[in-house]
Structure 1
Amino acid sequence: MKPPRVAVAYSGGRDSTALLHATLKAAAAQGLQVLALHVNHGLNPRADEWQRHGAAQCKTWARRGLPIEFVAHCIIEKPARGDSVEAWARQARYKALRGMAIEHGASLVLLAHHRRDQAETFVLQALRAAGVAGLSGMPSTIERDGLTWTRPWLDVPRENIEAYVRRHRLRHVDDDSNEDTRFARNRLRHAVWPALSAAFPQAESALADAAAWAQEATACLAELASIDLASADKSGGLDLRAWRALSAARRSNLLRAWLRSRAGQPAPATLVRRLMDELPEAGSATWPLPRGELRCYRGVLRFIGGTDSDEPQRETTLSVRRAGAYALPGWHGRLQATRVREGGVPLAWLAHLSLKAREGGEQFQAGIGRPARSLKKQFQAAAVPAWERDGPLIYSGGQLVFVPGLGIDARVLAPPGQAQMALRWLPLR
């Protein structure tokens, strides 16, 4: 059996080299295998040289008995004219890291961002007039695209990492593109940060703390939106009568959260402002969106998605025969099956499953001895927000087995002693 694997995003630079080295030292004592994931963007003339350096460094550590494997991916595509090179490279990098991690059996990816990176992100987002979510910066841990991404050094000052590199005499590469002030972060680092830190020596820690406060505020706003949606949800639509009863700030907060859950991406500020102005007096109306449109009819706002040839078809069947994560890209998530001793579905029920979208009229029993009620009422009673209701309804032999956001229907719970599985829906964020 292969040992458990953890991955480190490894560019060969100072920060990722230090993180990889520290991870190796910890992994060797715990019996873990470490994957060094290197992405060759092909944008810099020295990109191949950096890849060779990373491979050679990992080979040296492997000869010393450290549990390291170097994995590289070369990006062939190039950014389109007019694209932000920074944004394009970031998206391409995370896509490549995800692919390598999944291919090589790692579910956890470590990233080397530190406190200075977080402080810089806060400043850049503020200069872009970002809201509270943008000012939150980078999360220390997040589940996204079927993986757990974590930044263990997000509270660590840059100087500590530099000291670690000197103490262990770690060789690393220097990316000369970091000197290119055409990029916003480089302009901040070279033209603004020295003056800012000279005038305010505590700037790095203060701005990183501000990002942490913004993260807490973002979580509170999400909870508030969940509470408000419990009374404003109407079969996936937004009941405008209940929405209008809220204060202006709560209407805006709920509208942003609902739009994101329906359209799958944050709504432009211009759209939110327009809807705030027009919805209170709207009768029958429509508003176009990149991936569909909003329709207001009889006091309910609904999102109608358009067809997208790049979207995978939704799966309609599934067979669960053992514990594990079952990817369902058409539903934008995965079903996690875990062996349990009680509170699960009989394993025999899971061999032939049907996957369906909500149609209305479905009945769910939340507990033994409790009456079956409509999904709408069950969602409201459990205060399940709309974005946690997405995903397939799972049936076996015509009987509803599992509902995302609610769990297993009590009518199919297995008796003690029988082989059974707990189910959990994990949407891709």
Structure 2
Amino acid sequence: MATEPLGVEVLAFHVHHGLSPNAEAWVAHCEQQCRRWARRGLLIRLCVTRLEARPTQGESVEAWARRERYRALRQMALEQGAHIVLLAHHRLDQAETVLIQALRGGGVAGLSGMPRETERDGVRWLRPWLARAPEEIAAYVRRHRLRHIEDESNAEPRFARNRLRLQVWPSIERAFPAAQTTLADTAAWAQEATACLDELAALDLSAAASAKGLFVPAWLALSVVRRSNVLRHWLRGQLRQPAPASLVTRLMDELGGAKQGQWEHGRGRLRLHRGILSWTPAADEPVWRADRETSLSLRHAGRHALPGWGGHLVVSRVDEGGVPLAWLGHVELRSRSGGEQFQAGIGRPPRSLKKQYQAQGVPAWQREGPLLYSGGQLVFVPGLGLDARVIGLPGQPLVGLHWEPSTAG
């Protein structure tokens, strides 16, 4: 369905949140409006998504509705092959966003408000009315006699944005008539500042971070303000959301004097080991069960699930440096009990697991998993590998072993 002037198909997206008793009436209104336009030759196709989920107990209804609305809009856009979604935010929305973010301590990124244009999750999001006053939009609606519906929840003061709009904003405009414009300008300047800070953080991260994590000695070589900026930037990449100010403050205070350490966060755990700060999501933590397996028969290569130990033992064929497969017909699985001796290489003396872990720089969270024994001989240790005393000669059927922790469901 192409129109002559632009040669594009226009879609109308509506999200039925299931929160209002009038929600079905709103869908009917959208259907009627599209039919009226169709009679005038404006072919606009309506797509509706009804949300099935509901906010969890204690969850902000505002935050839930916003998150689910954007998710539904994105899904409809991708399903319909639409690459651009137009949003109706205007200048007052932007001013309110800046104020709310300032009151919540959102920092420079928060003061940036809403971007006029952004590309995220395969969809280009545009806000063409962001510089328009709501009065201009209302005048257009009246002039063209467009029927519209006011969401009754807009008058509900228990929502933060409504409280600001209904109770605070009238006083601000009386005292500062140009508040909409000046706060929108503030957002534009903050967006420029945020972009500069992001570029600076990217330069600093190229020298202070890698796939392994944040290299703390290089990070400490930066000035305090650049240190804070790059830490926020790195954490945002790990957490997939802005880091809480309390976490940033704590790391800024504690990282400089720490050699080892860990910091819990709701989504996972930060760990410092040998100068590298790494992030482990909660879903990557090992899952343990009381009924751990005590024996195993390994007669072929492949991944062998050990749910009691929270992972898989991976057996792979190798030409050299492996253990003879015949050794693994019956192996025992044991936890560390202390006193175990591991030989890291042929001709090297056996040493305690603790010393071997320290010598090879294996962090504590990579030492978990079962020890494998065959005929009383230690064969394999997670984080260290095969004991040198079980390495077979070339020409024999040899295999290598590797321990993979599972992700929590």
* TM above 0.5: yes
Give the unaligned 5+ runs of structure 1: 4-26, 310-429
Between the aligned partners of 2:231 and 2:161, the Cα distance in structure 1 is 31
**How far apart are 1:260 and its partner, in Å?**
1.3
Pick aligned residue for 2:183 from 196, 207, 214: 207
Q: Match for residue 94 of structure 2? A: 118
Equivalences for residues 134-283 of structure 1 within 5 A: 134-283=110-259
Between the aligned partners of 2:172 and 2:11, the Cα distance in structure 1 is 38
Secondary structure of the 1:30 match is: coil
Secondary structure of the 1:226 match is: helix
Q: Match for residue 42 of structure 1? A: 18
Greater relative contact order (Cα 8 A, min sep 6): structure 1 or 2? 1
Secondary structure of the 1:307 match is: helix
Q: Match for residue 331 of structure 2? A: none
Q: Could you say if the C-alpha distance between residues 49 and 129 of structure 1 is closer, same or farther in structure 2, counting changes exceeding 3 Å?
A: same
Q: Could you say if the C-alpha distance between residues 235 and 70 of structure 1 is closer, same or farther in structure 2, counting changes exceeding 3 Å?
A: closer
Between the aligned partners of 2:210 and 2:49, the Cα distance in structure 1 is 46
CA RMSD in angstroms, aligned pairs only: 1.6
**How far apart are 1:298 and its partner, in Å?**
1.6
Between the aligned partners of 1:28 and 1:284, the Cα distance in structure 2 is 67
**How far apart are 1:288 and its partner, in Å?**
2.0
Between the aligned partners of 1:304 and 1:101, the Cα distance in structure 2 is 33
Task: Report if aligned partners of 1:284, 1:298 keep a CA contact under 8 Å in 2.
Answer: yes
Corresponding pairs, count: 285
Residues 131-163 of structure 1, C-alpha deviations (whole Å, 9 max, x = no match):
111111111111112111110111111111111
- The letter for the 1-side match of 2:36 is T
**How far apart are 1:28 and its partner, in Å?**
5.2
**How far apart are 1:304 and its partner, in Å?**
2.5
Secondary structure of the 2:5 match is: helix
- The letter for the 1-side match of 2:275 is G
**How far apart are 1:278 and its partner, in Å?**
0.6
The more displaced of 300-309 and 276-285 is 300-309
- The letter for the 2-side match of 1:191 is Q
**How far apart are 1:308 and its partner, in Å?**
6.3
Residues 181-211 of structure 1, C-alpha deviations (whole Å, 9 max, x = no match):
1111111111111111111110000011101
Between the aligned partners of 2:170 and 2:94, the Cα distance in structure 1 is 16
Task: Report if aligned partners of 1:28, 1:66 keep a CA contact under 8 Å in 2.
Answer: no
- The letter for the 2-side match of 1:305 is P
Percent identity at matched positions?
58
Q: Match for residue 65 of structure 2? A: 89
Q: Does 1:297 align with 2:270?
A: no
Task: Give the TM-score of the pair, scaled to structure 2.
Answer: 0.67
- The letter for the 2-side match of 1:119 is A
Task: Report if aligned partners of 2:91, 2:132 keep a CA contact under 8 Å in 1.
Answer: yes
Task: Report if aligned partners of 2:16, 2:50 keep a CA contact under 8 Å in 1.
Answer: yes
Task: Report if aligned partners of 1:115, 1:204 keep a CA contact under 8 Å in 2.
Answer: yes
Q: Could you say if the C-alpha distance between residues 93 and 28 of structure 1 is closer, same or farther in structure 2, counting changes exceeding 3 Å?
A: farther
- The letter for the 1-side match of 2:165 is R
- The letter for the 1-side match of 2:230 is L
Task: Give the number of the structure whose alpha-carbon radius of gyration is greater.
Answer: 2
Q: Match for residue 55 of structure 1? A: 31
Residues 220-265 of structure 1, C-alpha deviations (whole Å, 9 max, x = no match):
1101111111221244421211111111111111001111112322
Q: Could you say if the C-alpha distance between residues 201 and 28 of structure 1 is closer, same or farther in structure 2, counting changes exceeding 3 Å?
A: farther
Q: Match for residue 31 of structure 1? A: 7
Give the unaligned 5+ runs of structure 2: 286-409
Secondary structure of the 1:260 match is: helix
Between the aligned partners of 2:19 and 2:268, the Cα distance in structure 1 is 35
Task: Report if aligned partners of 1:32, 1:67 keep a CA contact under 8 Å in 2.
Answer: no
